[in-house]
Structure 1
Amino acid sequence: MSDMAECFFNGWLEVMGEGNASYPQHLFCSWHVDRAWQSNLTKISDREKRSEIYKILKTLQRETPLLQFTSALTNALTYICNNEKTRNFGEYFKKNYAYNFRKWAYCFRVEAGINTNMHLESMHKVIKYFYLERKTVKRLDEGLIAVLKYVRDKSVERIIRLTKGEHTKQTRFLSQNHKEVLKHIDNYIIETNNYNISWTIKKNEQTSYTIYRLLDIKCCEQICLFCEVCTRMFSCECKFYLENRTMCKHIHMLINKLQTENKLETVPDFRVDNISTELLALSEKPNSSNKKIKDIKDLASKFESLDFEKFDDETINKIHHHLIIAKNITSCSNFPNDINDNTKFQLRNESNKRLIESHIRLTSTKNNA
Structure 2
Amino acid sequence: MVVQIILFYILSKIQTAVSFFENFFEFQKRVHLILFAWIPFSIGDIIYVLAGIYVLILFFKTFKKRTRNCALLRMLILVDLFYFIYQIFWGMLYFQTPLITKLPETEITIDKRKSLALEYLQKAKATRELVREDQNGVFILNDIAAVQNEILKNQNKLPAFITDKKSYNVNSFKSSLFSELMSFTGILGYYNPFTAEAQYNNNLPSSYLPFTISHESSHQMGFAREQEANFVGYLIGVYSQNTDLRYSTEYFTLKSLLNSIVQDDEEFVKFVLDNYSEGMKRDRLHEKQFVMQHQGLMTDFFGFTNNLFLKSNQQEGTVTYSYFVDLLVRYKSLK
Q: After TM superposition, is the score higher than 0.5?
A: no
Compare relative contact order (CA 8 Å, sep 6+) and give the higher one, 1 or 2.
2
- TM-score, normalization: structure 2? 0.24
- TM-score, normalization: structure 1? 0.23
| Structure whose alpha-carbon radius of gyration is higher | 1
